[in-house]
């Protein structure tokens, strides 16, 4: 007999926290003539630019060696930079309403053993910081025929514990971070500087970790000592880290660990940004298919609910570049969206409403979150389990008849269904109940409207 799951939602009781922007991503389809497909529809709040454009940053996108190809050139001269393709890419992201989270550094070099091109410490840390300042100036202050985008987050490097990203020492990276963060914060006090895209903290709850994985915790401890030491103190507006897992609860365990450590070092208000994550199941033959189907969608949905209850402030899924195996949002070839993409769009319904309400479940494999605003209400439920379950739904200050329901499961992708007070949730399924009949967006208004890469003022305005 199928076990019954009790879910209770009280729209009379709001929580202090708002629904978080957890449905950010890394990268997007490279569209140089129009906004990335589906980004506006899913209300993607942030796009982190790491490994953008493919291996080695596609040779022309985002990475410091790509936009500043000759390290011997003068960072003060616009002609020293090659912004062309990064300009085109960022213009389309900006037009989609998605905010840019810019990683200052290099893309991963998985074949560094053949030859490492850019995974070395810069020859001159001060000059590297000056180059980064040129990039920020170009995209936020219009320098070098640039833009005035509202790019708040600038991340220094990525996974320096990992040789394909950084073949220098820990001490060298800390010094690069110190020099760069202090220089950029002085030049641009309004931006948020942080890092370092840690590989993660698997040893916090796993016992079968190698010495390499154990080193990640040591890096974090030493980094916090470094940035808080009187002699080496430097800015840290946010700390970022990664995790690839098949357990949504592990995400919360690591987030609690990060928060505890930041508090231990007197940094309780440092923003916590979880900016690489994905569903990695035990089946390597199906792993990259599961990222895209209803199983991956239910994992993502469960992760959103767990992150909402955790210290995480923002998260960015890896990855939304269709040509990458880790892309769970699009089918390749082409840009046809997946069931996992649909989970992102469903979460956006709550993010638009913003006011979180009390929602409870008595089943550890069934996750729930609810939200409302002055006009509308929504309930987001996922069954991250290979077994189906009966759900008994109890709503306070709301009538079930006022909600429209849609489901993601093995046979459906956001299809409208009829929901009774007691209903069945199939294995690995996600259900959204919403009183708002049409799909809603929450997008940032671009501050810049200019002709670029085939997208002019009039075409941007038509999308509003």
Residue ranges covered by each domain of the chain:
4-10+355-434, 20-353
| 371 in Cβ contact with 305 (< 8 Å) | no
Longest dimension (CA), the chain: 73
- Helix 248-264 to helix 294-308 angle (10° resolution) is 30
Query: How many other CB atoms are there within 10 angstroms of residue 198's CB atom?
Result: 25
Task: Compute the distance between CA of residue 256 and CA of residue 9 in angstroms, rounded to an integer.
Answer: 26
DSSP helix/strand/coil, 422 = strand
Instruction: Give the Cα separation of 425 and 151 in Å (integer).
Output: 41
Architecture of domain 20-353 in this structure: Alpha-Beta Barrel (3.20)
3-state SS class at 301: helix
Per-residue pLDDT of the chain (464 residues; tens, 9 = 90+): 677 999 999 999 888 889 999 999 999 999 888 899 999 999 999 999 999 999 999 999 999 999 999 999 999 999 999 999 999 999 999 999 999 999 999 999 999 999 999 999 999 999 999 999 999 999 999 999 999 999 999 999 999 999 999 999 999 999 999 999 999 999 999 999 999 999 999 999 999 999 999 999 999 999 999 999 999 999 999 999 999 999 999 999 999 999 999 999 999 999 999 999 999 998 888 999 999 999 999 999 999 999 999 999 999 999 999 999 999 999 999 889 999 999 999 999 999 999 999 999 999 999 999 999 999 999 999 999 999 999 999 999 999 999 999 999 999 999 999 999 999 999 999 999 999 876 655 444 333 333 333 333 333 333 33
Q: What gap in Å lies between CA 128 and CA 118, rounded to an integer?
A: 13
414-422, long-range: CB within 8 Å, 24+ apart, which pairs? 414/342, 414/345, 414/346, 419/393, 421/392, 421/393, 421/394, 422/4, 422/390, 422/391, 422/392, 422/393
What's the confidence (pLDDT) of residue 16? 84
Q: Are 366 and 453 in contact (CB under 8 A)?
A: no
* Rounded Cα gap, residues 216 and 391, in angstroms: 41
- Indicate the class that CATH gives domain 4-10+355-434: mainly beta
190: Cβ–Cβ under 8 A, 6 or more apart, which residues?
A: none
Pairwise CA distance, residues 332 & 353, whole Å: 32
Cα–Cα distances in Å, from 458 out to 12, 150, 201, 455, 462? 43, 21, 47, 8, 6
Beta bridge partners, 101, equal: 48, 153
User: 79: Cβ–Cβ under 8 A, 6 or more apart, which residues?
Assistant: none
What pLDDT is attached to residue 459?
A: 34
Please list, in sequence order, all residues whose beta carbon lies within 8 angstroms of the beta carbon of residue 173, skipping any fewer than 6 positions away: 121, 157, 160, 166, 196
In degrees and rounded to multiples of 5, residue 236 shows phi and psi of -145, 90
Partnered with residue 118 across adjacent β-strands are none
């Amino acid at each position: 007999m199928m076990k019954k799951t009790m879910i209770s939602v009280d729209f009379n009781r709001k929580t202090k926290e708002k629904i978080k922007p957890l449905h950010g991503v890394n990268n997007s389809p490279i569209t140089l003539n129009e906004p990335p497909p589906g980004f506006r529809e899913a209300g993607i709040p942030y796009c982190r630019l790491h490994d953008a454009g493919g291996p080695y940053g596609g040779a022309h996108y985002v990475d410091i060696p790509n936009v500043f190809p000759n390290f011997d050139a003068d960072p003060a001269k616009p002609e020293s930079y090659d912004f062309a393709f990064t300009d085109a890419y960022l213009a389309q992201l900006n037009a989609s309403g998605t905010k840019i989270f810019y990683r200052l550094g290099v893309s991963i070099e998985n074949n560094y053993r053949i030859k490492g091109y850019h995974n070395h410490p810069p020859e001159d840390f001060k000059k590297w910081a000056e180059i980064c300042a040129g990039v920020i100036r170009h995209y936020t202050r219009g320098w070098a025929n640039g833009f005035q985008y509202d790019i708040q987050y600038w991340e220094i490097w990525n996974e320096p514990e990992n040789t394909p990203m950084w073949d220098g020492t820990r001490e060298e990276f800390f010094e690069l971070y110190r020099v760069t963060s202090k220089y950029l914060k002085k030049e641009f006090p309004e931006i948020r500087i942080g890092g370092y895209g840690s590989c993660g903290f698997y040893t916090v709850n796993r016992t079968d970790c190698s010495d390499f994985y154990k080193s990640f915790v040591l890096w974090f401890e030493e980094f916090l000592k470094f940035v808080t030491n009187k002699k080496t103190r430097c800015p840290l507006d946010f700390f970022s880290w990664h995790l690839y897992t098949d357990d949504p609860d592990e995400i919360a365990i690591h987030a609690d660990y990060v928060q505890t450590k930041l508090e231990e070092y007197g940094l309780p208000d440092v923003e916590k940004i979880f900016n690489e994550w994905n569903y990695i199941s035990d089946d390597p033959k199906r792993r990259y298919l599961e990222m895209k189907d209803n199983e991956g969608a239910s994992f993502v949905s469960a992760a959103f609910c767990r992150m909402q209850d955790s210290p995480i402030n923002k998260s960015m899924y890896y990855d939304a570049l269709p040509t990458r195996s880790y892309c769970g949002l699009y089918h390749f070839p082409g840009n046809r969206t997946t069931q996992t993409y649909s989970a992102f769009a469903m979460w956006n319904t709550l993010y638009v409403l913003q006011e979180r309400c009390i929602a409870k479940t008595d089943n550890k494999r069934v996750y729930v979150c609810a939200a409302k605003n002055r006009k509308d209400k929504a309930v987001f439920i996922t069954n991250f389990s290979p077994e189906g379950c009966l759900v008994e739904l109890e709503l306070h200050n709301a009538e079930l008849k006022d909600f429209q329901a849609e489901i993601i499961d093995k046979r459906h992708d956001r299809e409208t269904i009829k929901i009774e007070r007691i209903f069945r949730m199939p294995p690995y399924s996600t259900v959204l109940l919403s009183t708002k009949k049409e799909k809603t967006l929450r997008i940032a208004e671009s501050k810049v409207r200019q002709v670029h890469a085939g997208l002019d003022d009039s075409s941007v305005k038509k999308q509003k």
